[in-house]
Chain A
């Protein structure tokens, strides 16, 4: 069993649950189960091409999964995944 921890913004789509548990062998499998169970999360985590949005990061036990094998990273019992967005923004027009 692995745990996925969600930031506040995404708990709206999981009936308020912050920590969710799944049986999954890879990060990808865990994310698939998450979005199958809570379909409204799909548009916030993945773009129209099914790719993880650029500002959404997945951490495995406090390490970005990109430093392992990305979404193909293997999981073991007791692992904790956290979905962590980067926050970006800025004004409309560049200074002239």
Chain B
């Protein structure tokens, strides 16, 4: 289960709408505890894919990731997951998402329909990399 505050959900939705029709992306810092992942901080990150691909792709570079890891360690938190948007597309992970994901992390997807945030889902990659499993958002 992934827990976020209404304010954090609002931050993600606003980011998704601001970047529409491009995909937005960001990291979530927090804590894992007994199967519950609690988000303490949402970090919007600039999508580093080339402009022409941003409508269906996002990239958080290793340098950005490194900064997130350092910030998390400094705050005694962990990088617990990442979010991105699917403009005018369902909030379901793609094959491309699956091939570029790691287990444990929560991959939160927000669908943006005609510029307005819509359904939000969260997914965790199975350890054998075969598929994503949806998790509850609370």
A-B contact count (CB 8 A): 99
- Chain B, interface residues (CB within 8 Å), range: 35 or more
Complex contacts, B23 vs chain A, CB 8 Å: 90-91
A40 engages B127 (CB within 8 Å): yes
State whether the Cβ of B84 lies closer than 8 Å to any Cβ in chain A: yes
Q: Are B65 and A85 within 8 A (Cβ)?
A: yes
**Is residue A71 within 8 Å, beta carbon to beta carbon, of the partner chain?**
no
B107:A7 contact, CB within 8 angstroms: no
Give per-residue flags for A55-91: 1 if the beta carbon is below 8 A from chain B beta carbons, else 0: 1010100101000000000000000001011111111
User: Which residues of B, 36-69, contact A by the 8 Å Cβ criterion?
Assistant: 49, 53, 55-62, 65-66, 69
* Most chain B beta-carbon contacts within 10 A, residue among A8, A86, A91: A91
> With A8-B104, A9-B105, A95-B55 as given contacts, are A90 and B84 in contact (CB-CB < 8 Å)?
yes
Chain A interface bracket (under 10, 10 to 19, 20 to 34, 35 or more):
20 to 34
- Residue-wise, chain B 97-109 has the 8 Å CB interface mask toward A (1 for contact) of 1001111110100
C-alpha spacing A51/B20, complex, angstroms: 36
Interface centre among A9, A12, A43 (most CB of B within 10 A): A9
B82 with A87: CB separation less than 8 A: yes
Known: A9-B105, A90-B56, A90-B96. A85 touches B62 (CB 8 A): yes
Determine whether A15 belongs to the interface, using a CB cutoff of 8 Å to chain B.
Answer: no
B56 close to A12 (CB less than 8 A): no
The residues of A that contact B84 with a CB separation of less than 8 Å are 89-90
Pairwise interchain contact A44-B96, C-beta atoms closer than 8 A: no
Interface check A29, CB cutoff 8 A: no
Residues in A lying within 8 Å of B, measured CB to CB: 7-12, 40, 43-44, 55, 57, 59, 62, 64, 82, 84-95
